[in-house]
């Protein structure tokens, strides 16, 4: 990578801050510390500390010391890298049952940090790209530890969101509400350099991503959409589609930000107790925010996902995101079921995204 005159993440944040002359600097400290944590995680991933060395919670190394899973290591790095800075009131993580409270000997600050420290962890053992996803909300108060309720804000309240992708190179993709910007880690400088300013998702696509092994559990709007993509030129879409599935949502989202496409992890009937696979607060919301900032659309079927009022910090949700026109088509299929679907009571009984929508 030529790094001579590219802007660093720090320089980018300084430029952004000029738009908010009253800002105290807490926000930039937060983003820079999250980026530093991501560099540390990238180091662990690149060092081959994958499944064999760190994959099992009960694994021991040659010294007989217990080794932690990389998910847990990544979570600890997020917590320790951000609890001391004075800019956070608390944190929520996929790896922690309850919200994390800033210890009394550190200052509390105005922001909440929510994260999936390692997304796509089933890919660690096989050396396929994984990533970290984060979301930033404003705290309701700094004179007390945040309650769970304080974290239950709709995604539209996010003041920033982003992810790091640990792939062939490490990238940090960020939105602070003014578009989406991609930074690539320069190994020589150890800095994230602005390599992909203003990422935009084309409104149409010929690529879709879904775990097709769940096909028999899909409800009609999703089945219809996928069937039409597969029918290609011979069907009503009149064009051939390609399919991709990395099984790291963060990597699938990155591909869509780079060249368009649509991703579906819908609510299905496989386990009716689960309102989808992905977690609302630290997977669907931050990715939804980035996608919409890049001109795409993120939906839970009938509503923009960013409108959903959360009810639980680890709540799951059905999620569709990507190229705007494709997501709108899927939403339309939910809003206007096919004839055969509307005459089939099965399809009435369980609307794909019903739970999420009722919470919107
Ligand atoms: O087993 P599947 O259906 O391919 O699931 C893959 C999905 O699960 C996830 O890996 C869940 O994330 P975690 O690794 O953080 O649990 C998503 O990234 C991905 O889209
Ligand atoms: Mg995840
Ligand atoms: Mg995870």
Mean pLDDT, to the nearest integer, of 9-23? Answer: 88
Q: Is 247 in the pocket of ligand 1 (CB under 6 A)?
A: yes
What does DSSP assign to residue 109?
-
- Residue 350 pLDDT: 39
Ligand 1 nearest atom to the CA of residue 214, by list position? 3
Q: For 53, what's the count of Cα atoms within 13 Å in the CB-facing half-sphere?
A: 11
Please, which pLDDT band fits residue 20 given cuts at 50, 70 and 90? Answer: confident
Q: Is 198 in the pocket of ligand 1 (CB under 6 A)?
A: no
The helix/strand/coil state of 181 is strand
Domain ranges of the chain: 9-196, 207-358
Site of tokens 């662990």: 44
Are the folds of 9-196 and 207-358 the same? no
**Cα–Cα distance for residue pair 111/133, rounded to 1 Å:** 16
Contact indicator for 181, 175 with CB cutoff of 8 Å: yes
Q: Which ligand is nearest to the Cα of residue 41, counting in written order?
A: 3
Q: Is 207 in the pocket of ligand 1 (CB under 6 A)?
A: no
- Residue 273 pLDDT: 85
Residue nearest to atom 1 of ligand 1 (CA): 247
Q: Is 154 in the pocket of ligand 1 (CB under 6 A)?
A: no
Q: Is the pLDDT of residue 354 over 50?
A: no
Q: Is the pLDDT of residue 52 over 70?
A: no
Q: Is the pLDDT of residue 106 over 50?
A: yes
Q: Is the pLDDT of residue 248 over 90?
A: yes
Ranges assigned E (strand) in the chain:
88-93, 100-101, 111-119, 130-138, 160-166, 170-175, 181-186, 191-196, 207-209, 242-243, 262-265, 278-279, 297-299, 316-317, 319-322
Ligand 1 nearest atom to the CA of residue 251, by list position? 18
Mean pLDDT, to the nearest integer, of 7-32? Answer: 90
Global ipTM: 0.95
Q: Whole-model pTM?
A: 0.91
- Alpha carbon of 163 to ligand 2 centroid (Å): 11
Strand order in the sheet with 88-93: 100-101, 88-93, 111-119, 130-138, 160-166, 170-175, 181-186, 191-196
User: For the structural domain made of 207-358, what CATH number should be given?
Assistant: 3.40.190.80
Query: What CATH number does domain 9-196 carry, 3.40.1410.10, 3.40.50.300, 3.30.540.10, 1.10.10.10?
Result: 3.30.540.10
The residues facing 131 across adjacent strands are: 119, 165
Per the model's pLDDT, the better-predicted residue between 276 and 272 turns out to be: 276
- Residue 329 pLDDT: 97
- Residue 302 pLDDT: 84
**Cα–Cα distance for residue pair 262/42, rounded to 1 Å:** 27
- Alpha carbon of 120 to ligand 1 centroid (Å): 5
Please, which pLDDT band fits residue 343 given cuts at 50, 70 and 90? Answer: very low
Site of tokens 């923009």: 304
Q: Is 249 in the pocket of ligand 1 (CB under 6 A)?
A: yes
- Residue 352 pLDDT: 43
């Amino acid at each position: 990578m030529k790094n001579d005159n590219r802007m660093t993440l720090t320089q980018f944040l300084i430029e952004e801050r000029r738009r908010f002359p009253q800002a105290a600097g807490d926000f930039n400290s937060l983003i820079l510390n999250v980026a530093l944590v991501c560099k540390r995680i990238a180091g662990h991933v690149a060092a081959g500390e994958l499944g064999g060395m760190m994959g099992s919670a009960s694994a021991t190394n040659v010294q007989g010391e217990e080794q932690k899973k990389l998910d847990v290591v990544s979570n600890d790095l997020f917590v320790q890298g951000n609890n001391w800075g004075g800019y956070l009131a608390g944190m929520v993580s996929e790896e922690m049952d309850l919200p994390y409270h800033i210890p009394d000997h550190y200052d509390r600050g105005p922001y909440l940090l929510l994260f999936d420290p390692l997304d796509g962890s089933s890919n660690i053992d096989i050396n396929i790209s994984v990533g970290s996803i984060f979301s930033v909300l404003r705290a309701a108060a700094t004179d007390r530890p945040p309650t769970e309720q304080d974290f239950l804000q709709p995604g539209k309240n996010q003041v920033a969101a982003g992810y790091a992708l640990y792939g062939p190179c490490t990238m940090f993709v960020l939105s602070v509400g003014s578009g989406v910007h991609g930074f690539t880690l320069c190994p020589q400088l150890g800095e994230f350099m602005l390599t992909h300013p203003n990422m935009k998702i084309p409104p149409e696509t010929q690529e879709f991503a879904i775990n097709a092994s769940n096909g028999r559990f899909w409800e009609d709007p999703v089945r219809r959409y996928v069937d039409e993509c597969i029918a290609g030129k011979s069907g009503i879409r009149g064009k051939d589609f390609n399919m991709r599935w990395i099984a790291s949502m963060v990597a699938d989202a990155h591909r869509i930000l780079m060249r368009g496409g649509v991703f579906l992890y819908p609510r299905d009937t496989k386990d009716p107790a689960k309102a989808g696979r992905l977690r609302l607060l630290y997977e669907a919301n931050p990715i939804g925010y980035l996608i919409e900032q890049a001109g795409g659309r993120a939906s839970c079927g009938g509503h923009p996902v960013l409108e959903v009022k959360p009810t639980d910090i680890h709540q799951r949700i059905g999620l569709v995101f990507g190229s705007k026109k494709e997501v709108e088509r899927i939403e339309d299929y939910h809003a206007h079921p096919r004839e055969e679907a509307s005459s089939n009571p099965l399809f009435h009984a369980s609307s794909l995204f019903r739970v999420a929508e009722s919470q919107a």
